[in-house]
Amino acid sequence: MASIRQLPSGNYQAAVLLADGTRTTQTFPDENAALAWAIEVEAERDRLREQARHRGASAHITALLAELEQLARKGQLTLEHRDRLRAITKSIRAVQ
């Protein structure tokens, strides 16, 4: 969550915690501008977090699919593997 404070100069400083744990700040002549900036920065931070989360899930799914493909080629695909593959497919469809 962003914080906004009024400085002794009368300006407003907005501060937003970024995904990497650092804080970014910017100073504005009025509180509304500070709030608008903070909302924009938080929205971008959240969008980037969501993209990273999907990339991580996508890499995991890709690895599982490769493993299942190798087992299928060897004729070692079990019912448990089939169920895992169905769950992965269902997850992918839910995201799309």
Mean predicted lDDT score pLDDT of the chain: 83
pLDDT of 95: 62
Given a cut of 90, whether residue 15 has pLDDT beyond it is yes
Q: Which of 21, 18, 4 is nearest to 46 (CA)?
A: 18
DSSP state, residue 14:
E
- What is the share, in percent, of the chain residues with pLDDT greater than 90? 35
- pLDDT at residue 38, as a whole number: 92
Looking at residue 4, its pLDDT comes to: 95
Bigger pLDDT: 30 vs 81: 30
Q: With b meaning 16 or more CB within 10 Å and e meaning fewer, what string describes 50-64?
A: eeeeeeeeeeeeeee
3-state SS class at 15 = strand
Distance CA 3, CA 35 (A): 9
Q: Domain locations in the chain?
A: 3-95
- Mean pLDDT score, 40-55: 83
